[in-house]
Each structure stands twice: as structure tokens, then as C-alpha cells.
């Protein structure tokens, strides 16, 4: 009985929409008509073998995910280790790094849109003032670096959130373990390898899984900064699904993409949990 309210909400807001989306993925519904035609596996065939933009969006999404997961996890763990002690300075810095997390992604996008503006942006102006104007770029308009620029913004916005999770995991490690390993002659790296990382693995599992989902759901940030351009260089699955549904009015095909989107996230998250669980067990 205690589980029932949550179960009902889960069935209503997740299971039912998922089943409905699966049904729509086999149709040619355009989003308006009360009727549609069954097209069988035609949408799936188109997605897998005929839609090059979908493939590009998937590759972009995987690159974005790898970049964000790797650097955001490393940066947040390093900062957590440096700011572990509960001094006034460290508590202030933790709060400062966490602050971007409470800002909406749209606000973050507008802030960094001004910073990265090629003409009046603060970044290019700063590079010019220190004699590095040769490094100035059209950060969001150059297809070769636009996705990396957005990945940097994503990392900047959420590293502080992951920092808090790592701090909680690190503070749960008994200090006696470090005393024992240092008495045995271990150095800092050996202590990190044999104590810190295995003990903080549960927190790392949460960070990696949550960061992965964040990177696949970075719709609002990318849509506000580039809209998926230039030349589809920042198009990811969520923005492409939006364009397919609300700009091309192909809701049936968008539902097909959504099914693939959900399956990809589930598969990647499952693999990550398995790898991190095996690391923790070792």
C-alpha cells in the first residue's frame, strides 16, 4: 500500500507514455489528424538505413557524452579532494562552485552566448587584451569547435553539483584506513588507488550515470546556444527529435527516434553500472 501511490504515478507518467510512443512509432501520424496509417517497420528502416542526420546526431551525442562524463567526473573528483576539509574557505568554495547548478540551463545558455560571441564576447576581447587575438574564434559558429564549446559550458554548469556528491562519498571514508596505509609506507597515489577510489565508487556510479543522462538531455542548452547548427555539428538526439516532430510534423517518425533514444540511454547506463560495479568489487 505504501508503494501504490508511487507506482501509480510511475505507470501514468512513464509506462503509459512509453507504450503510447511505441505504438506511434509504427505509424505516420503528423501530429494533428485524429487518424493515422500503420507503416510497420518503415520508420525504423528509415532511421537505421536512410537518415544520415539521425546518425550524425547520435555520433554528436556520443562524443558530447564522452567529453562531458570524462572531464566533469575528473574535475569534480579533484575539486572534492581539494575541498574535502570543512573549513570556512572550503565550504564557501563548494557553495560557489555549486551556484551554477541552481541557474536554469536557458540562463546559462544566454550568459555563455554573450561570453562566446565572436564580435563582442568577453572571451575574444580578453584574448585580444592579453595579446592572444590569434586564438580568438567563432566559438559557436565554427563546426569543428562548436560542440566542444557547448561541452565546456555543460561541464562548467554541473561540475559543482557532482562535487557535492563526491564530497559526501569521501567524507564517509574512515580516516583510520588512511592512517593504516600510510603507516605501511604507502604514498598518496597508492592511498588513492587502494582506498579512495574503491570506497568512493558508489558515489562515482551516481555521478557517471547522472552525467550521462544529463549529456543526452542537454536539449535546452544546445537549443538556446546553437539550435543544432552550424551544419548539424551540434545536433544531438533530443534536438533532432524536436525538429522532426515540431518542425517537420513527423510525430510518428519522432516517436521512433524517441524509442531508439531511450534504448541507447538504457544500454549505456547499464554498461556503466556494470563496469563501475566490477571496479568496486575488485
Whether 88 is covered by a domain: the verdict is yes
Average pLDDT over residues 95-119: 93
SS3 category, 31: coil
Give the residue ranges of DSSP H helices in the chain.
Answer: 4-10, 16-24, 42-45, 52-82, 88-98, 105-115, 122-129, 146-171, 175-183, 188-191, 197-216, 219-225, 237-242, 251-281
Predicted pLDDT at 64: 95
Question: Per-residue pLDDT for 282 more than 60?
Answer: no
DSSP letters along 48-63, please?
III-HHHHHHHHHHHH
Do 279 and 201 form a contact (C-beta atoms < 8 A)?
A: yes
Do 178 and 191 form a contact (C-beta atoms < 8 A)?
A: yes
Whether 32 is covered by a domain: the verdict is no
Do 49 and 135 form a contact (C-beta atoms < 8 A)?
A: no
Average pLDDT, the chain: 91
Looking up residue 231, the CATH number of its domain turns out to be: 1.10.3720.10
Whether 56 is covered by a domain: the verdict is yes
Do 244 and 250 form a contact (C-beta atoms < 8 A)?
A: yes
Whether 39 is covered by a domain: the verdict is no
Per cent of the chain over pLDDT 70 is 98
DSSP 38: B
Whether 179 is covered by a domain: the verdict is yes
pLDDT band for position 70 (50/70/90)?
very high
Do 115 and 160 form a contact (C-beta atoms < 8 A)?
A: no
Question: Per-residue pLDDT for 173 more than 80?
Answer: yes
Whether 90 is covered by a domain: the verdict is yes
All residues at 6 or more sequence positions from 63 whose CB lies less than 8 Å from its CB, including other chains: 147
SS3 category, 27: strand
Q: Provide the domain count of the chain.
A: 1
Domain containing 116 equals 51-281
SS3 category, 116: coil
Predicted pLDDT at 33: 87
Whether 7 is covered by a domain: the verdict is no
Do 224 and 105 form a contact (C-beta atoms < 8 A)?
A: yes
User: What are the pLDDT digits (tens) for 129-160?
Assistant: 999 888 899 999 999 999 999 999 999 999 99
Structure pTM?
0.88
- End-to-end CA distance of the chain, in Å? 39
Whether 22 is covered by a domain: the verdict is no
Amino acid at each position: 500500500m505504501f508503494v501504490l501511490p508511487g507506482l501509480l504515478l510511475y505507470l501514468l507518467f512513464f509506462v503509459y507514455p512509453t507504450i503510447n510512443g511505441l505504438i506511434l512509432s509504427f505509424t505516420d501520424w503528423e501530429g494533428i489528424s485524429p487518424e493515422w496509417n500503420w507503416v510497420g517497420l518503415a520508420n525504423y528502416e528509415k532511421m537505421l538505413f536512410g537518415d544520415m542526420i539521425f546518425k550524425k546526431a547520435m555520433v554528436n551525442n556520443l562524443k558530447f557524452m564522452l567529453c562531458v562524463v570524462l572531464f566533469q567526473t575528473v574535475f569534480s573528483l579533484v575539486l572534492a579532494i581539494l575541498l574535502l576539509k570543512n573549513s570556512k574557505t572550503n565550504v564557501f568554495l563548494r557553495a560557489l562552485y555549486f551556484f551554477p547548478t541552481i541557474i536554469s540551463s536557458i540562463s546559462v545558455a544566454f550568459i555563455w552566448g554573450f561570453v562566446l560571441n565572436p564580435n563582442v564576447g568577453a572571451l575574444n576581447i580578453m584574448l585580444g587584451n592579453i595579446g592572444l587575438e590569434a586564438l580568438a574564434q567563432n566559438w559557436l559558429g565554427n563546426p569543428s569547435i562548436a560542440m566542444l564549446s557547448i561541452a565546456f559550458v555543460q561541464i562548467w554548469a554541473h561540475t559543482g553539483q557532482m562535487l557535492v556528491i563526491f564530497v559526501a562519498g569521501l567524507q564517509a571514508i574512515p580516516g583510520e584506513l588512511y592512517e593504516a596505509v600510510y603507516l605501511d609506507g604507502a604514498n598518496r597515489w597508492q592511498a588513492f588507488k587502494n582506498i579512495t577510489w574503491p570506497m568512493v565508487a558508489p558515489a562515482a556510479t551516481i555521478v557517471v550515470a547522472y552525467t550521462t543522462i544529463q549529456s543526452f538531455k542537454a536539449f535546452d542548452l544546445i537549443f538556446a546556444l546553437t539550435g543544432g547548427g552550424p551544419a548539424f555539428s551540434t545536433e544531438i538526439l533530443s534536438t533532432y527529435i524536436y525538429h522532426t516532430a515540431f518542425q517537420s510534423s513527423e510525430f510518428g517518425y519522432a516517436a521512433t527516434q524517441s524509442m531508439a533514444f531511450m534504448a541507447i540511454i538504457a544500454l549505456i547506463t547499464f554498461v556503466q553500472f556494470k563496469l563501475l560495479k566490477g571496479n568496486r568489487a575488485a
